Chains A and B, each alone.
Chain A
Amino acid sequence: MAGKIRAFGAFAYDFVVGDDWRVAVGVVAALAATYWLSHAVKAASWWVVPAVLAVLIPLTLWRAVRKG
């Protein structure tokens, strides 16, 4: 049973997170920052996710290319 749960966890992780967990962490951090800016600071926050993606995508590609 524990083995099956582990296998399902591994499948779910691969299905959602995939090859680079940093991307998932970056997305969650970007959405958290958007939430904070919108609700606590009450400032314009639409730019946060695009700005994070502009850094995150080249970074994950650079890691993938470096790994070969």
Chain B
Amino acid sequence: MDLGLRDKRAIITGATKGIGRRILEQLIAEGCTVATCSRSVEDVEEVIEKCSTRKAEVIGAACDIKDKDEYKDWVDDMVARMEGVDIFIPNVSAGGGMDSEKNWWKNFETDVLGTVRGCEAVVPHMQEAQSGAITIIGTTAAIETFGVPQAFNAMKAALITYAKQLSQFVGRDAIRVNVVSPGPIEFPGGSWAMLKDTMPKWYEKVMKDHPTRELGRPEDVAKCVAFISSPAARWVNGTNLIVDGGFTKRVQF
């Protein structure tokens, strides 16, 4: 099956490491041009140098997505450089934590506003083209109780509702909005690799809750994001795709 991603133009925030980076690599492999950002210019330069291929290019610039104006300027700049945008993946997250009220502010600012502001910046470009796909990164911690009652879970849940409503709002412009919600994903340098060392009992429990007794991999998420963002998923809109290897136990009617 050809996903139809060749020569599409994608923007993904914060794809210099982790799952985001793996999504970027997948899109490059499918022939997209991909724009990304990070607060660190060195990290952006590194991903441009390492991930660009003869057929597909990574572009990018340093940007703090928490700064509203800087963020919008960056989106506009990337769209201008690519002469349009077909795919938008707001990927940056403040991560988990139940340390203080500060976690709520951080997840609201980074996860919620970082998504909403990005969508508002790309939608006019997509409306102009009468085409586009927005894929928001959720989490299974939003749809089933998981760990502790932390801001990350609840703020990601807000994004699932937002995505559905946005899909109705911009659907007439042929813009699709979906969520991909990964379960626990393990990779070197990631949180679950750290938890394996620092909270081994918790890690073991989570692993055993997976039917396969293993955690997911970044490519499991990346391939689903690539598919749902692609023309091949033309008729998928407003959904929340759970990518967890069967970790969550609810029946999804």
Q: Is A bound to B?
A: no
**Contacts from A to B (Cβ < 8 Å):** none
**Contacts from B to A (Cβ < 8 Å):** none
